[in-house]
Structure 1
């Protein structure tokens, strides 16, 4: 796969060059920022990325001495928000907070994108990892992942799973699960997070972040089966991972971070990165992250660039294996 995807290998010459560039912000006494910073969010108001953006923006406003203003630009695949930041002036006054799907899934999923996922951005910092929880309608008899796999394989094509849309992280996560287990299920895409539909029995199961399902789980309207990350979530320590439940190596999460347009000066990237790191250290940030089921990642630019490159390779294979390459 890597040999067929030169844009993946090119990432080392683009993202990492920016990530490794020396930082002069502290020593030069640069005036940046001198005006408000716009933080574009590729998600609707109230979504997990939006909540994270508002948490860190508040602390960044204090540490930088300028307002950090959150602007939501939701769209399919996060394309509108990502394009707008790619085309913004590389001066540090426009950044993008997103999960990695627009950079890692979209380049293989879409025949053409209005932005360059490899060369159009400079990583700033990875902030948090949001596990996805596999939950089912209470009428589904399976109570463990092993039982769920057996149930689905006993009735090929009968059972359903819902996602926020074709090519979404949740969709690809299910496709990886299906490929590894041999399950045959019907995908039902929705325009919004389908917690309601699975509660209503329109679909059998979903993968979702904790905030959108926690109330339903507490009210016994959804059953938790497993968590998608390689380690158990601290919020649900008794809940096993999918990996330990019969699918070794399975590890999927919504990785949320900040990127800037390509060409943003290294000293500006450093200033932004330091402000984000400071925001992540604040007790109220950590407490809120814990409530939301988010694991603080705090990965600086160089490591974030490497992580993006690795995830690009991984999801290029998964999207292609699912027959979705160039489908949008």
Structure 2
């Protein structure tokens, strides 16, 4: 950046957290080109406090005074860069003063919704701003995704979703609805969401082996539900590997599908522990498999895929935060940092573990790379199982 011969005036909004409350102060920094060029601290110090009302004893004032000591070693353009960066990072992710709206592609009571609310409560405290969960179910997550894609990338609206609304929905059609790598701004992964393979308890099925035997004895007569594209993909993998013939009944969300499974209108499905655990404990549903790599401590009698003679599914549900397209990289990193820090809280980790969600975080670059790999793998599985639609 070339130096201007004219005086530069910069207004920097400074939010200073003090012991007994939040005090907003403003300082007008009048930095003349001559004073910077001559490396004069004496000319800078009055400018720092001009109209600022910043107490010299405050931490923020000391930081800027310390900064002036280094001006002698800086070129003018470097100094201005530091000042702008300081202005950005002293503001927080609540710069707009608005609540953070987290859009969820499934209805209340789903595993994704439950996780969003648990994380949102802690995130609200960490960011000192309200967090509102906005449920937008339907169209396998497309409604929620479009809501965020078309929002302003200011950090006030985020998508919290599993792979269903991101990689899943864009793999079933020859022409994807949108490109998750460019139309969304990946922020951080949150964790893995396991599935149970569950059946109605009235069926004469007590294991995966018995399920396959029963389904083969009744070709085309059994049905299965899917409450998400992830559920559908998991079932398609099992059906394809076992050579079964089952009728598919799609649902917009998991909870109503599980209700119909309990009521006997559906025979089998892959669903999350969040929506099925209570019915399993009541004896209304029977869990045949868990997609976790090892048996769950809370459900030691539910075998893994490997225990049941199957290879682990190459695709398992995961969840993460996304911003609208065009979100500035610095803001993505800032949001990723605060969300990652929030997810390090032991009580939150334990609360998510109650729903068998394993916390896994990443920075925006890592999450983008992971997303790219997951999209390619999902496309491969969908094509192999004949799930591509016109």
CA spacing shift, 1:230–1:307, aligned 2, 3 Å = farther
Higher relative contact order, chain-length normalized (CA < 8 Å, sep 6+): 1
Q: 2:284 aligns to what SS in structure 1? A: coil
For residues 272-322 of structure 1, the C-alpha deviation after alignment (integer angstroms, 9 at most, x for no partner) is 112111221223312221222211122332332222122211221222233
Q: 2:166 aligns to what SS in structure 1? A: helix
Q: 2:377 aligns to what SS in structure 1? A: helix
- State whether residues 291 and 304 of structure 2, in contact with CA within 8 Å, keep that contact through their aligned partners in structure 1: yes
CA spacing shift, 1:30–1:122, aligned 2, 3 Å = farther
Any unmatched runs of 5+ in structure 2? 1-83
Please give the alpha-carbon distance, in whole angstroms, between the structure 1 residues aligned to 2:85 and 2:333: 7
Q: Which residue of 2 aligns with 1:137?
A: 200
Q: Which residue of 2 aligns with 1:128?
A: 191
The match for 1:223 among 256, 274, 286 is: 286
Q: Which residue of 2 aligns with 1:170?
A: 231
**Alignment map for 1:55-70 (pairs within 5 Å):** 55-70=118-133
Q: Report which of the two structures shows the higher radius of gyration computed on alpha carbons.
A: 2
- State whether residues 181 and 368 of structure 2, in contact with CA within 8 Å, keep that contact through their aligned partners in structure 1: no
CA spacing shift, 1:45–1:249, aligned 2, 3 Å = closer
Q: Which residue of 1 aligns with 2:108?
A: 45
- State whether residues 83 and 114 of structure 1, in contact with CA within 8 Å, keep that contact through their aligned partners in structure 2: no
1:71 aligns with 2:137: no
Q: Which residue of 2 aligns with 1:283?
A: 346
Please give the alpha-carbon distance, in whole angstroms, between the structure 1 residues aligned to 2:101 and 2:262: 37
Q: Which residue of 2 aligns with 1:268?
A: 331
Range 172-181 or range 69-78, more displaced: 69-78
Please give the alpha-carbon distance, in whole angstroms, between the structure 2 residues aligned to 1:252 and 1:116: 19
TM-score by length of 1: 0.84
The match for 2:298 among 230, 235, 249 is: 235
Superposed CA RMSD: 2.3
Q: 1:137 offset after TM fit, Å?
A: 1.5
The match for 2:246 among 177, 185, 189 is: 185
- State whether residues 105 and 165 of structure 2, in contact with CA within 8 Å, keep that contact through their aligned partners in structure 1: no
Please give the alpha-carbon distance, in whole angstroms, between the structure 2 residues aligned to 1:67 and 1:256: 22
Q: Which residue of 2 aligns with 1:155?
A: 218
Q: 1:248 offset after TM fit, Å?
A: 1.2
Q: 1:195 offset after TM fit, Å?
A: 1.6
Any unmatched runs of 5+ in structure 1? 1-23
Please give the alpha-carbon distance, in whole angstroms, between the structure 2 residues aligned to 1:238 and 1:25: 55
- The number of residue pairs the alignment matches comes to 302
Please give the alpha-carbon distance, in whole angstroms, between the structure 2 residues aligned to 1:176 and 1:150: 17
Q: 2:292 aligns to what SS in structure 1? A: coil
CA spacing shift, 1:215–1:324, aligned 2, 3 Å = same
